[in-house]
Amino acid sequence: MKTLKLLLYSLLISSLLITSCNKDDDEEPAINESQVLVEYMESPNSPLGKDYVNSDLPSIISAEAVHTDILTGAAINIIDIRSGGDFALGHIEGAVNVASGDVLNHIQSEGLAMDAKIVIVCYTGQTAGWATSILRLYGYSNAFSMGFGMSSWNSFFAGSWQNNVSNMYSTQFEGDNVAKGPEGNLPTLSTGQTTGQGILEVRVSDVLTEGFGAAKVSGSEVFANINNYYVVNYWAEADYTHYGHVPGAMQYTPKNSMAYGVDLTTLPTDKTVVVYCWTGQTSAFLTAYLRILGYNAKSLLFGANGMIYDDLEAHKWSDAAIMEYDYVTGK
């Protein structure tokens, strides 16, 4: 009897071990979604076939170039993402009014080719920069934001820029060289997807749903709570030294620093990352990418133009940018 019990006990243990091994064999290994995504976006297999952020970003077209395309009859799709009311007051002839969060759905529903020329237009070029970056990252290789938005098309719209240049923080800029944060982990993503393309599609949908409102911050908000933010100065190192910087801001070199193997992982995942550039347009492009990766990143509105306008020797809004082109009214 004792022998029989030992035999049955041995068979039970063996059965449990086999079942456990089978379960282990069936389970998929956990993946780091953010790492899969960033490696995909920097690879030749990305939708654009290259690392767009560290090679071409931003993709901005001037009002003059858009006007030339219209006059010459070039194939161009102009999407105006301002409010319906402002669109009715005046817009570029031939433009269609689409909410910023619906841009991708609109383009797909229209069946536009991935290389179709698309120009996104907003008030100042900042929301359009955010939307255009998403389109580029998704694979639309000929998408552009119109520089300075409708402010550059006609003086009727220029108040959006004219009323937001400022010298309010020129005395608060500092000249020290602030070290970047330590290298850490990428953000945690939980899309449930396993491929770079699958993760990208979910994250693009999420970021479009959030809207640019979640991706922007004013200078007054930042300076009132400067220690709450990890501030990224997205200029060349020479400009960082020449002009100084927002207190505590760290210099990241455009088209280089945001690569995975360079400085990307020095961005914190537990603190809001604020990016500023010259005009808020390039930072809007970059912020869209960082939010797709899972960072809580925000673009500082109007960039240096909204903080140290008179100190700037270049890269600044000017009424000379206003082209005084014709526009149409109504919907």
Q: In terms of domains, do 174 and 295 share one?
A: yes
Name residue 130's amino acid: W
Q: What DSSP character marks residue 188?
A: P
Please indicate, yes or no, if residue 300 is contained in any of the structural domains. Answer: yes
Please indicate, yes or no, if residue 271 is contained in any of the structural domains. Answer: yes
Of 122, 139, 160, the residue at which a domain comes to its end is: 160
At 214-228, the pLDDT tens digits run 999 999 999 999 999
Stretch 273-283: mean pLDDT: 98
**Is the model's pLDDT at 12 over the cut of 60?**
no
**Is the model's pLDDT at 243 over the cut of 80?**
yes
Please indicate, yes or no, if residue 289 is contained in any of the structural domains. Answer: yes
Residue 253: count other Cβ atoms within 10 Å of its Cβ: 16
Q: In terms of domains, do 130 and 174 share one?
A: no
Beta bridge partners of 144: 119
How many domains would you assign to the chain? 2
Stretch 108-113: mean pLDDT: 96
Stretch 242-256: mean pLDDT: 98
How many Cα neighbours within 13 Å face the side chain of 148?
27
**What pLDDT score does 98 carry?**
98
What percentage of the chain carries pLDDT values higher than 70? 91
Q: In terms of domains, do 112 and 222 share one?
A: no
Give the residue numbers spanning the domain of 126. Answer: 60-160
- Give the confidence band of 26 by pLDDT, cuts at 50, 70, 90: low
Q: Comparing C-alpha atoms, which of 194, 109, 201, 123 is closest to residue 162?
A: 123
CATH number, domain with residue 252: 3.40.250.10
Stretch 289-293: mean pLDDT: 98
Tell me: cis bond preceding 58? Omega within 30 of 0 counts: yes
Q: In terms of domains, do 289 and 193 share one?
A: yes
Beta bridge partners of 121: 80
**What pLDDT score does 30 carry?**
79
Please indicate, yes or no, if residue 141 is contained in any of the structural domains. Answer: yes
Stretch 3-22: mean pLDDT: 44
- CA–CA distance, 287 with 130 (Å, rounded to integer): 7
**Is the model's pLDDT at 15 over the cut of 60?**
no
**What pLDDT score does 8 carry?**
40
- Report residue 4 as tokens: 């029989």
Name residue 181's amino acid: G
Q: In terms of domains, do 212 and 253 share one?
A: yes
Of 119, 142, 160, the residue at which a domain comes to its end is: 160
**What pLDDT score does 153 carry?**
98
Stretch 93-109: mean pLDDT: 98
How big is the chain, counted in residues?
Answer: 331
- Report residue 135 as tokens: 């389109």
What value does the mean pLDDT of the chain take? 93
Q: In terms of domains, do 154 and 186 share one?
A: no
| Residues 288/280, Cβ–Cβ less than 8 Å | no
Please indicate, yes or no, if residue 49 is contained in any of the structural domains. Answer: no
| Residues 181/268, Cβ–Cβ less than 8 Å | yes
